[in-house]
Homo-oligomer: A and B are copies of this chain.
Amino acid sequence: MSGTLAALLAGGPDVVHLGLDAVALAPRAAGTPVTTVDFKPPAGGDPRRIALLSELLSGPAAREIDAANARALARLLASRPHLVGIGTARDTVPGMADDLFLHAGPPVTWERMCGPLRGAVLGGLVYEGRAKDPAEAERLAASGAVRFDPCHHHDTVGPMAGLVTPSMPVFVVEDRGGERAGTRTYCTLNEGLGKVLRYGAFAPEVMERLRFIRDELAPVLAAALALRGPVDLRTLMAQALQMGDEGHNRNRAATSLLFRELAPALVRATEDREKAARALSFVNGNDHFFLNLSMPMAKCLLKAAEGEPFSSLVSVMARNGTDFGIQLASMPGRWFTGPAQMVRGLYFPGFSAEDANPDIGDSAITETAGIGGFAMAAAPAIVQFVGGTAEDALAATRAMRRITVGSNAGFAIPALGFAGTPTGIDVRLVEEADLLPQINTGIAHREPGVGQVGAGLVNPPWEAFHEALAALAEHVRALAPAPR
């Protein structure tokens, strides 16, 4: 934690900076001495971005941007994502096709794909029966036999490599509240830890587990869900945030609560008791099972925020292991990118930073929606996993209030007096505060076929936010009437 940040945090949770005072901005930008010892100039002191910020925070469009953000946030807060079922990607995910593989992050070609994403693609080709082994799969992938598309282009999110192939089962999450009721988002079922496809592993055990998930687990869970009815993911997440989860790297409580909710119906819906027991054992053995539901829940919340032409809110943060991309709620589908960063973290025995791939996965959708790294204060035990102290966890959540326009009272954090999680990242505030969103994440080995090597903290690249700020200014100028 930088000295600057520590000083700012010393003010406690009520240091909530929601806008830039244009009067104060000018003397600051001009270099006038400021009494705050650890003063950081807005936008890192860059004159061009300071001018953009001034325009977007106090120019003619500023009020429209603020109003658009308020509407976007209100819709996000009114969204009620429910787990409604499980389908096969081919038949369920919009725009899915037999020759299409989805991946995490912004678009990337086979040539530019990182090791773990390549590893997942090779595994996916074997899993789909398109290649008999990874070597054949590699030739096939390079030949262009499959097309690649970001998960986000299909209302889908995928952890780490985020690979979705046509025959994979996917959770179906549906918004059951607010103006955007009916919106659906999708995610595969979590494989667990160790050697898994999402970390780029493709050993026979990985294939066997994926087939178990497809052929046995998914049908059993689907039958349980059909009998029980939809599961309110937002309420479940709210409880989990009072039980030490933050919804990205710690999902033990939410997994436990989901397990309790589904088990009775699962038993009733499954004639073969051994199948029921195997399904329950698999979920019980995987404390990250709920991650693949917190992600589409977050995506569902953020889709509710989209479609405000003036909004400066960030609606997507996603990485493919090569590039980090963000989107704004005002321009859904348009990526602003920069290089994926290295994760600062703890490594499993036998691995070090040299083995690490840059940041990868759609799981930063959790932070975009105000959980994960933004809800660290709810999960002090996470510091054992990503490093730091319990105080750092509180400070991380407090710091994120400086770059968000509101908080989600539905996601209350007991340790912060039941304050809601900081929600609604405003690209203007990120630039003004010169403070990037904080992301909790796993670390994949940089070579295909290995798997996870650690976990830690990471930030997006500044390039993505600078690009988004400039694009927003241009976009808003085109929309807004000329100043009178």
Identify the A interface with B (CB < 8 A).
239, 242-244, 252-253, 256-257, 259-261, 263-265, 267-268, 270-271, 273-274, 276-278, 280-281, 283-284, 380-381, 383-384, 389-390, 414-418
Contact = CB atoms under 8 A, between A and B. Distances in A.
A268 B274 contact: yes
Centre residue among A252, A280, A383, A390 by max chain B CB count within 10 A = A280
A264 B253 CA distance: 18
Contacts of A271: 273
24 contacts: A242-B244, A243-B252, A244-B244, A244-B414, A253-B256, A256-B257, A259-B260, A259-B263, A264-B281, A264-B284, A267-B267, A267-B280, A268-B273, A268-B274, A271-B273, A273-B276, A380-B414, A380-B415, A384-B414, A389-B417, A390-B414, A390-B416, A390-B417, A415-B415
Contact of A381 (B242, B277, B380): B242
Contacts of A253: 243-244, 253, 256
A237 to B, nearest CB: 14
Contacts of A416: 390
B267 A256 contact: no
Given A243-B243, A256-B256, 17 more contacts: A243-B253, A244-B253, A256-B260, A260-B280, A260-B283, A260-B284, A263-B263, A263-B284, A264-B277, A264-B280, A268-B274, A271-B273, A273-B273, A380-B414, A383-B414, A384-B418, A390-B414
Contacts of A268: 273-274, 277
A173 B457 CA distance: 42
A172 to B, nearest CB: 23
A466 B418 CA distance: 40
Contacts of A384: 414, 418
Contacts of A415: 380, 390, 415
Centre residue among A242, A263, A389 by max chain B CB count within 10 A = A263
A268 B276 CA distance: 8
